[in-house]
Amino acid sequence: EPHAMMALSMLKDYDNYTFTHSVNVSVLALAVGRACNLTEEQLKTLGLGGLLHDLGKLRIDVDIITKPGRLTDAEFDAIKEHPGFGAEIIKEMEGVTPEVMQIVLGHHLRYDRSGYPSKAVDNIASPLVEMAAIADGYDAMTTLRSYQRPFTPRRAIARLKEISGSSLHPEFVIHFVESLGPYPVGSLVRLDNNEIGLVTKVDTQNTSLVDIKIIFDAAGALLEEPNRIQLRPNQPRSIIAEVDPQTKGIDVTDFFDLDS
């Protein structure tokens, strides 16, 4: 979709966080969609909707978007215009389906339709909107912002469950959470031998099959060279707990960057 790629380029020039968030939401939305057994065509639509969901922020003052502190009521009112602005931009793009427009317009409406823009409630019918909303929420929760400490993946999952049925579609949340496994990719975990590692891969067909990059040895020392292991049932090592990366003074994304 050349128009979509151009739009993403504009987002990157506008605000790098919004660009990165849009890519993350697209990837996560595909994970939700696969967990819900969507067709390939539906996945294509969902992924594109995820990429473009925040496009309307291009029409918002970037100083509001990047403000490090709490927004004023007037600033939040301005932010709430972005779904409608995004839908207006999408209308001008050739080949973008109505379902993509629904994702852009409706990703903040919430499952109980208490979100915004309220005037769009009657125009949102696609289940893909609900899936994109789950992806949007999960990424927002797990991303470090200047005004917000990120949730760990397990805490984010717990929060998704808490708001399912009100903000999020309960059935879709269940499917997504089950596909992630008890320790999703990005989780920092402690093993039963006291080593600490980063979950880098979870088999979606069997979530007990987990790949881990060991970062701290059993004495708590940071390893110069992370050690990669595969946890399998009936093997000596197993996960016993999640670890908050901030307590170890690390950013887990630094260790993903080391992957080839």
In this prediction, residue 146 carries a pLDDT of 65
CATH number of the domain residue 47 falls in: 1.10.3210.10
End residue of a domain, out of 145, 180, 215: 180
Whether residues 116 and 7 share a domain: the answer is: yes
In this prediction, residue 77 carries a pLDDT of 97
| DSSP structure class, residue 57 | G
Neighbours of 209 (CB within 10 A): 15
Whether residues 204 and 143 share a domain: the answer is: no
Buried b (16+ CB within 10 A) or exposed e, 26-35: bebbbbbbeb
Q: How many domains does the chain have?
A: 2
Whether residues 176 and 193 share a domain: the answer is: no
Whether residues 22 and 142 share a domain: the answer is: yes
End residue of a domain, out of 143, 163, 180: 180
Whether residues 166 and 199 share a domain: the answer is: no
Whether residues 36 and 84 share a domain: the answer is: yes
Whether residues 229 and 152 share a domain: the answer is: no
Domain range enclosing 251: 188-256
Q: Could you read off the pLDDT tens digit of each residue along the chain, which spans 260 residues?
A: 677 788 889 899 999 999 999 999 999 999 999 999 999 999 999 999 999 999 999 999 999 999 988 899 999 999 999 999 999 999 988 888 999 999 999 999 999 999 999 888 888 889 999 999 999 999 999 987 766 788 999 999 999 999 999 999 999 999 999 999 999 999 999 999 999 999 999 998 888 899 999 999 999 999 999 999 999 888 888 999 999 998 999 988 888 864 43
Whether residues 123 and 33 share a domain: the answer is: yes
End residue of a domain, out of 180, 201, 232: 180
Whether residues 121 and 247 share a domain: the answer is: no
Residue 66 sits at φ, ψ, to 5 deg, of -100, 5
Its pTM stands at: 0.89
Whether residues 167 and 199 share a domain: the answer is: no
Whether residues 50 and 162 share a domain: the answer is: yes
Q: Is 134 helix (H, G, I), strand (E, B) or coil?
A: helix
Residue pair 205/228 in contact (Cβ under 8 Å)? The answer is: no
Spatial CA neighbour of 35 closest among 166, 131, 111 = 131
Whether residues 99 and 68 share a domain: the answer is: yes
